[in-house]
Structure 1
């Protein structure tokens, strides 16, 4: 049932049709039980784009009931893996057909530059459905040789209803890392997108239904903390997939544990990039800049800590100051923009508070930018920062880079591993032995060598320490939504 709201007209671009601002439950649109509404703000202007339903516990209950019925009685879990895979491949094709529409909607909702929304966000999300559509047919058990007479084998089965909770910074990608493998495994899903950025979640639910996804297999409930807590605690939910801050994730993990539910937790990060004395400086500096300005620094794997061999420290600082000053900042709908606004006023104010602590020498940036009423902050580089500074140890989640010198490999590794986080890391060196040696020592779920933020649906990522547990992407991402059942039949 198509219910597109009035389109929003963007400067210099064609209109972007908005999805219904209602809840999508059991294949249909409905208002929230409490009939509350939430404003959706354009970060580039600070103006209201539209409103969406403010779902609560009663709406979550309705969505979980629909998902449970679809799992217990519907065709989805009973299809072969190949059949489900065909459906997911079709969903990927639908996303390709609507690629430009979805990219512009994602840019409008989050403030991310359109060039990245189109190439990165849509590209990665489509890749998720394509990859897991291909992988769905590989879900199978195995026969086992046991001591006593009989036939023994294992089955790989879906868990049931999955609660998928995605964050505001990459709505399309980080919902796809949960929904695509969950569906490939035969589960049904209740998705609660971030309250600030729900628009592409609603539009995809509509497109997927039109593409033949059975009712109740994917449900979307927009809302805030009440909806999220109700989803995690609902007894009809059998698995939680969560991406968000460590503070919120701690509460989600505790609630999931109370219900004895497995959970995949992808949380905060404070990732380090290490530039050794033998690094190719031009390439390393380019990675350093990209690592902290990408997505306006709202990237849990962002390379927000730069560790530089002392022999290159001043050279790198000078290059960073020059580069940060010339990064194109502005209207995310313009093709030339590299850095757009932060996703909301509270995110902008949070970045300002960290920089105002004065814990480092400001080499570049350090100020809010007045652009069209939006939530802009200049790419900021802080030098001579103590390792125990808050801006080094805590997640700022904005375009802020700290730079620290080191003298030895051991010191570099110790600095890189000195925070409570362990999501990602990178190192730059021309010494192959050092690359393997340091990669093995870094406490992180993914390590890049002479590169940064290279991600693929086939390559698992996830955290250690306060960056969470479990893995998304790759076969490991599919395994997270399956359980093993053993079957024994006597033959004597």
Structure 2
């Protein structure tokens, strides 16, 4: 039988980067079967041995950093420098996951309380088995490895389905892993289109799915997972807000805002899309922003729109925004596929698609607000809740605004900085999804808690879990509980 293939293309040139098989449901089924066997072996190695091998994998990736960066550049179109930064961040997360898994997940004693005085209790987190990772194209290494690295460190085997736009990167990640772990296919990559990902999510032997993509696609993946009650981690993008308070360093704020909005051609789930500036500094901030954006060029500082279909969404949002608001930079003519030049529009109505829907392009809307509180209210009036940014010199006020922002992560006086801190969890709320990768939460996301209580000795006169229990024992229990818990706090 002839194997069907598909090509990955350089979005900037249209040239073929590589050809890959469209793996069928049968091929996916076989991969999951291999992963089941590999998972048992990998889990049995224990934390110390997995740590050694994952750190070796980190070294292998570092040795191939330039090669991988070039491949990311070819498949996404992003500059090699941006691809290199993505890989460096990946290495820091892989290192953290490997070094901290035992501390976070390993067996530990927990307190039993007075009622359990005769018990010894332990808690640990055990591997799930096979984890399916369905990755995106915008950060084809950093984003899926945020699940892969932590799931591997937790003792699971992985079947990775990369985006059909960046399959070569996914294939190479698995090939390089085999250099450090040659015995079993602990990390496998399957390539293909939607049918391949659907088959993977629907396999009952998969114990968890980590998905990154649109909210609409996440719902379809969840529906497939529901057939087998397979849990899912869903990271579904956002419409992140950037708030500039009246005491902010405006130069730094404008610089961070511009990079957060335009880097990677705006194709960043935690990228800046909405900007709210307090009235007292609005004009000054806009001068700073306008002065800087003139130096940012599509095809130089950032690459093309990787997914061709996204161009129409970006164009629709630009058309909508420019009709309703005031253009500061760019406009409908900024769309020259596959590139989109920077677009900044102010005074766009809050009910506009350009403000409500994820654009995923190098565009931002800017609005003047009375104060930081109004800015926060507008920022929170979104169905998304992934990341966000606060710029203010007042640390206490900035922290309080960050806490009240309805998002999974917030950066203060920086942009997207939380993604570079391996100990911080990453994920959203509402239409941005649920579950967490990165940090201790990310390790526990790919493990199951195991609680054990062992009776060390019998409590005299207090055999409560027996049909031989008498009224006297129950009375003693009531007196004890009343003594421990019956005093009201004033």
Q: Shorter-chain TM-score: which interval?
A: 0.7 to 0.9
Residue in structure 1 matching 2:3, options 28, 35, 46: 35
CA distance in 1, matches of 2:448, 2:324: 48
Q: Which residue does 1:434 correspond to in 2? A: 397
Residue in structure 2 matching 1:397, options 356, 360, 363: 360
1:345 aligns with 2:308: yes
3-state SS of paired residue (2:171): helix
Residue in structure 1 matching 2:438, options 473, 479, 483: 473
1:411 Cα deviation from its structure 2 partner: 1.1
CA distance in 2, matches of 1:196, 1:402: 29
1:366 Cα deviation from its structure 2 partner: 2.4
Q: Which residue does 1:103 correspond to in 2? A: 69
CA distance in 2, matches of 1:478, 1:231: 22
Q: Where do 5+ consecutive residues of structure 2 fail to align?
A: 458-490
1:112 aligns with 2:78: yes
The two structures have a TM-score, normalised by structure 2, of 0.88
- Which piece of structure 1 moves more, 157-166 or 311-320? 311-320
1:69 Cα deviation from its structure 2 partner: 1.8
3-state SS of paired residue (2:384): coil
1:70 Cα deviation from its structure 2 partner: 1.5
Residue in structure 2 matching 1:459, options 424, 439, 453: 424
Residue in structure 2 matching 1:276, options 245, 258, 263: 245
How many residues are matched?
Answer: 449
- The 3 A distance-change label for structure 1 pair 408 and 488 is closer
Is contact 1:164–1:190 with CA below 8 Å preserved after alignment? yes
CA distance in 2, matches of 1:411, 1:152: 49
1:230 Cα deviation from its structure 2 partner: 1.2
Is contact 1:34–1:55 with CA below 8 Å preserved after alignment? no
Is contact 1:367–1:377 with CA below 8 Å preserved after alignment? no
Residue in structure 2 matching 1:93, options 59, 71, 75: 59
1:488 Cα deviation from its structure 2 partner: 4.2
1:46 aligns with 2:9: no
- The 3 A distance-change label for structure 1 pair 66 and 405 is same
CA distance in 1, matches of 2:452, 2:34: 30
3-state SS of paired residue (2:348): coil
Q: Where do 5+ consecutive residues of structure 1 fail to align?
A: 1-32, 331-336
Is contact 1:304–1:401 with CA below 8 Å preserved after alignment? yes
CA distance in 2, matches of 1:260, 1:294: 38
CA distance in 2, matches of 1:154, 1:431: 41
Q: Which residue does 2:473 correspond to in 1? A: none
1:49 Cα deviation from its structure 2 partner: 2.1
Q: Which residue does 2:486 correspond to in 1? A: none
CA distance in 2, matches of 1:93, 1:486: 35
CA distance in 2, matches of 1:276, 1:370: 32
CA distance in 1, matches of 2:2, 2:205: 22
3-state SS of paired residue (1:226): helix
Q: Which residue does 2:162 correspond to in 1? A: 193
3-state SS of paired residue (2:141): helix
CA distance in 2, matches of 1:437, 1:149: 44
The two structures have a TM-score, normalised by structure 1, of 0.87
1:425 aligns with 2:388: yes
CA distance in 1, matches of 2:17, 2:263: 24
CA distance in 2, matches of 1:213, 1:280: 52
Q: Which residue does 2:37 correspond to in 1? A: 69
Higher Cα Rg, which structure: 2
1:211 Cα deviation from its structure 2 partner: 2.3
- The 3 A distance-change label for structure 1 pair 79 and 368 is farther
1:491 Cα deviation from its structure 2 partner: 5.0
Q: Which residue does 2:373 correspond to in 1? A: 410
Q: Which residue does 2:485 correspond to in 1? A: none
Q: Which residue does 1:285 correspond to in 2? A: 254
Structure number with the higher helix fraction is 2
